[in-house]
Amino acid sequence: MSLEVAVFSLLALVSVLGALGVVLARNPVHSAIGLVLSFLNVAAIYLVARAEFLAVVQVIVYAGAIIVLVVFVTMLVHPDDLPEFHGRRSLRLVTGLVLGAALLAEVAAAVLARGVRGAPGPWTDEVVAAVGGNTRALGQVLYVDYTLGIQLTALLLLAATIAAIALARPEAISDRVAAARRVLTISLAHPRGLDQPELPLALPGTQDGRVKAAGGGRPIVLARSADEFTEQPAWGEWRGR
C-alpha cells in the first residue's frame, strides 16, 4: 500500500508541476508541453487506480489529439506576433488572483459539502469483477444502460462538426459552386478533346473563345477547368487545329 501512495505522490507532484508550467511559461508551445506532461501524469494516476481504459483514453484523446492540435496552431504563430494582453500587469495579477481564489473556494465548498468519498454506487469491486473487468463494465453502462444518451451525444457532436465546417468556409456553399463555374483557366496545354464546343462567352480580346498567342502557332485555349486538359505533350506531338 505504501508503494502505491509513494507512486501516487510522485505522479501528483509532477502533474501539478506540469500545470504550473502551463500557467507560468511565456512561450505557448512550452505551455502546451506542460499540459501534456500534466495529462500524462493524470493518466498514470488513473492506471494506479486500476482504471486502465480511462487512462488510455485520456492519453489518446487529450494528450494525443487535443494538445497536438493546440501545438499545431501555436507553432504557426510566432510568439512575438501574439497580441499583448490589455491592461497593466498589476491589474491582470489582481484579476487572476481573485478569479483563482473564487474557483478554489468553489471546489473546496463542493468537496466539503459532498465528502471526498461520496456515496458508494452499485458498481463495487465484486460486481465489476463478475462482469469481467473495468472496461467491460464501462461498456455495459455506456452502451446498454445509457445507449440513448450516447446516441444523442453522437448526433449533437456530428451536427457541431458539420456546423463548424460550414462556418469555417469563407463563403456559403452555393456561392462557391457558382464561383467555381465562373472560373476560367487559361492554359497553354494540349486540349483533351479538340472537338469540344467553343465557350459561349465573349471575353474582351477574344474571338469565339480563342486567343491568338503572341508567338508560335499554339493557341491559348480557354477552358472551364484544368481537368479538360491532359498533361502537356512533347512538342513534336502537337498537331494544332
Partner 1 sequence: MDWQRLIVSYLAGFVLLTVLLGLMAYMTWFERRVLARMQHRVGPNRTGPFGLLQPIADGIKLLAKEDIVPANADRLVFLVAPLLSFALAPLGAAVIPFGDTLQLFGIEIPLLVADINVAVLYVLALGSVGVYGIILGGYASGNRYSLLGALRSTAQVISYELVLGLSLVGVFILSGSLSLQDILREQQRMLVLGPLTLPNWYILSQPLAFALFLIAAVAETNRAPFDLPEAETELVAGYLTEYSGFRFSFYFLAEYINMIVVSLLAATLFLGGIDGPFADGVWWLALKALFFLFFYVWLRATLPRFRYDQLMGLAWKVLLPLALLNIGLTGLVRLWGIGAL
Under the rule (CB under 8 A), what is the footprint of partner 1? 3-4, 27, 29-30, 33, 36, 40, 52-53, 56-57, 59-60, 63-65, 68, 71-72, 75-76, 133-135
Q: Smallest distance from the beta carbon of 56 to partner 1, in angstroms?
A: 4
Residue number with CB closer to partner 1 (1 or 112): 1
* Nearer Cβ to partner 1 (139/191): 139
Nearer to partner 1, 40 or 221 (CB): 40
Provide the minimum distance between the beta carbon of 57 and partner 1 in the complex, in angstroms, as a whole number: 8
- Report the nearest approach of partner 1 to the CB of residue 145 (Å): 19
Residue (34 or 209) nearer to partner 1, CB: 34
Contact 186, 194 (CB under 8 A): no
CB of 112 to partner 1, least distance (A): 32
Residue 172 is placed in which grid cell?
Answer: 456559403
Residue (125 or 208) nearer to partner 1, CB? 125
Write down the least CB distance from residue 69 to partner 1, Å. Answer: 8
